[in-house]
Structure formats: structure tokens, C-alpha cells
Amino acid sequence: MPDDAVALALQVIADDPVAIRSVFAETGTPADGVTGTQRMSALFQHARQEGDHTPDALRKVLVAGAGLDEQPGAHSSDAARFAFSTITGAASIGQNMPPALQETMAKLAASYRHELLTGARIRDGAYRGSGMAAPPGFSMVPGLTPAFYLSPKDTYGFLKTFVADEQNTRMFDQAMAGLRRDVLVESARIDGEAIRGNPPKDPGFFEETAGAIGNMAGLEYAAALKVRGDMDAFDEDMRGMITDAASVVLDRVPGAEKVGEFLWEGAMFIIGEKLDAWAEGDEATSRAGRTVSEYDRWVLAQHYEVATSLWEGGFPADPPWPPALMKDGRPLPVDDLVKDSAKSEAFERWSDSTDKHGDGATFDKKADQGADAVTSGRSAVTAKGYEEQP
């Protein structure tokens, strides 16, 4: 069908979410042999091959149909079904998504952050399929309310539709940063309540949640690396943010609401350094070895942020959080710690002291395991396997 004709058909329904979902539902049913995912994939392919009219009209249809004005984690069932077909269809296009649609893909990812974080989890099956229902035996992350369940492969493929552009990527990172903090605190709260029970038993939700976050960051890093060809500019930016300890965070991240984005990107930087160290085999000659001061500061920032999430969730610590590392009744901001070696050493000594009994779910063990999990490179390695599949 000519580009103008497709664009006109889309424009007719572009302002009516109900009509959009109805049209796509009727043309994406088993009865006509075309699934919603296949329909969306065909539309994206058409938009690639034709002029500018189809992408412009399709952008409006996607925004309305997927309910991007609805609350993340609480999308209507009709909007979610449409978004599921859109995301899985887009995943098959990956980095070949038309440029005019890439910003819309980033907005879709930000709005469906619960679904992407759930889908990134490789522990519950790195090669499972996508579907509207949870896979058998799938364990949930506290605080996430996904309307559908993506596979890690589809999650990775969808990330590739928008990570070529830094602004689009940052839109998604900002959304994930807030969700990261929320689910870590909620998981810490549940584990903390359980550890105070009789008998005390740690369900380990915090570590599961941290692992999901690490999987998401790893897939995003792998997607960006694949699409951009290298991450040199990103790495240089992240080193520059933290090379001068005296000005950490303050120049780039002037408000507290931005710190989460800083930490999300920092986790990806650490994952990239780990991947290079593994690939090169000699840490002394790897990027991690050459930039140890910057790397160590990022690791400290991640460890501290994970620990403050435990504190905020009420996970017990003995001895309690030291008053010298608090201000206005809360732990000091992460940049205060990274800028001051005396404070960072005091934090490390205190955290270690909470593990004095040497066993059980101590605060220090939870913080260490959580920090390791949010910067794990496992999913980035898994993503390489997806590239080798047909």
C-alpha cells in the first residue's frame, strides 16, 4: 500500500484510542493468521521503506493506543495489550527502527518501565517467551505490577530501538532511576519485617530485586554498545563526572531528583568495565585497571546507595546507622560520601561492623550482595547470545 494511503488510514483513527485498539485487535487475531506482534512488525517495516508520512502518523497512533498518558504500572488492559504488540513487534526491528519513531519508543519504554524491568530478568529463564501471563514458576519483584511479561530477548531487542540517541536513552534512564529506588526500598521493607519475625527468616527479595536491576542495566548497556558501535563517549563522560572527587555530582546533577539517574548510568559504567576486564583477561591493562580511582568511586556510590535503600526500607542493622553519617535524620547524600574519603572509610567500617556475627542475613551481607547484583554483567553476556540467534 502506498505511504500516503497508510498514513491517511492511521490519521483517521489517531485521536481515538478505542478505535486504534479495535482496528489493531481485529487485524491481529489468530482467525486471520496474523498476530498483533506481526502486524506491528509489518507496520514498522513499511515505515522504514516508505516516506515520512507513515512514521509521523504511526507515532500519534502508538502514543494514544498504548496509553502513554496512563500511570506506569497501572495501565488499562486494552492499552497494555496494544503496548505488548507494539513492543514485541518493535523488538524484531531493533536498531532498524525509523529515526522518526525512536523517541516514541523511548517514551513507550519509560511508560512501561514495570514491564521492561520484569522482562529483563534472566534468572527466571534467559530464553523464555513473551506473553500476557506470567510464565510458570516466575517469581515477582515486590513493587512491580506488570501488565504483561516480556522475554529478556524481546526486552533487549526493544531497547535497541532507541538507545542510539543519548537524549532518548536519558529519558528512559530517568524513569528507571526512580523505579530502581522504589523497588529496592520496598524489597528491603519486606525482608526487614520477615527477619524480625518468629522465627526470623529472610525471603531474599532484596537480592532478587537488585539482580533484576542489574539485568536491566546490563541489557541496556549491551544494546547501546551494539547500536552505537562503542561506548567510548559514554565511558569518558562517566569518568569525567567522578574524576575530580571535589565536584562529584554537583555540576551535572544539581538536584536530588537527578541522583538516581547518575547512579543508574554509573551501574552501566561498572558493567562495561567488568566486561572489558573479562574480555582482556588482565585487569592491570584493562580500562578498569587504568581508571581504578574513577571505577572505585562508582563502586562506592553503588554500595552506598544500596545501603541507604536498606536503611530506608527499615532493614535492621546492629549497630544502627552512625549519626556522623546522617543529616536531618537521614543518611548523607551519596555525593557527600564520594567526595570525602574519611566519610567513605567510616561508612565501610560501620557496614563491616554490622556483620560481626558472621552469619545470617546481616545488613552488611545484604548491602554487599545487593551492590554486586545491581552491577552484574551477566545479562550483557547473555545479550551477545541473542545476537547469534536467527
pLDDT tens digits, residue range 124-153? 788 899 999 999 889 899 999 999 999 999
- Distance, first Cα to last Cα, the chain: 28
Give 162's pLDDT tier (boundaries 50, 70, 90).
very high
Query: How many CA atoms within 13 Å lie on the side-chain side of 23?
Result: 15
Residue whose cell numbers read 563522560: 237
pLDDT tens digits, residue range 47-84? 887 656 677 778 889 999 999 999 999 999 999 999 99
Q: Are 90 and 103 within 8 A, CB to CB?
A: no
How far is residue 175's CA from residue 156's CA, in Å, rounded to a whole number?
17
Instruction: Using CA atoms of 40, 41, 42, 43 in order, give the dihedral in degrees to the nearest 10.
Output: 50
Give 329's pLDDT tier (boundaries 50, 70, 90).
very high
Amino acid present at 214: G
pLDDT given at position 275: 80
pLDDT tens digits, residue range 376-385? 989 999 998 9
pLDDT tens digits, residue range 217-232? 999 999 999 998 877 7
As a whole number, the mean pLDDT across the chain is 85
pLDDT given at position 361: 72
Give 246's pLDDT tier (boundaries 50, 70, 90).
very low
Q: Quote the percentage of the chain above a pLDDT of 70.
A: 83
How far is residue 102's CA from residue 90's CA, in Å, rounded to a whole number?
10
Averaged pLDDT, 288-304: 71
Q: Are 279 and 318 within 8 A, CB to CB?
A: no
- Kindly write down the DSSP assignment for every residue of 221-237, as one continuous string: HHHHHHHHS--HHHHHH
Q: Are 40 and 85 within 8 A, CB to CB?
A: yes
Q: How many CB atoms lie within 10 A of CB 134?
A: 14
Q: Is 131 helix (H, G, I), strand (E, B) or coil?
A: strand
Give 258's pLDDT tier (boundaries 50, 70, 90).
low
How far is residue 91's CA from residue 159's CA, in Å, rounded to a whole number?
8
Question: Is it the case that residue 22 has pLDDT exceeding 70?
Answer: yes
Q: What is the DSSP-derived secondary structure letter of residue 75? A: -
Q: What is the DSSP-derived secondary structure letter of residue 331? A: E
pTM assigned to the model = 0.89
pLDDT given at position 107: 97
Name which of 212, 223, 169 is nearest 384 in CA terms. Answer: 223
pLDDT given at position 293: 63
Alpha helices per DSSP H over the chain: 3-13, 17-26, 36-49, 53-65, 77-91, 99-111, 113-119, 152-159, 166-195, 205-228, 232-243, 256-280, 287-290, 292-312, 334-339, 341-353, 363-374, 378-388
CA geometry: angle 384, 386, 390, nearest 5 deg: 130
Alpha-carbon Rg for the chain in angstroms: 22
Spell 267-302 as b/e; 16+ CB within 10 A means b. bbbbbbbbbbbeeeeebeebbbeebeebbebbbbbb
pLDDT given at position 254: 44
pLDDT given at position 7: 61
Report CA-CA distances (Å) from 74 to 16, 67, 71, 195, 241: 20, 10, 5, 30, 35
Question: Is it the case that residue 343 has pLDDT exceeding 50?
Answer: yes
Question: Is it the case that residue 267 has pLDDT exceeding 80?
Answer: yes
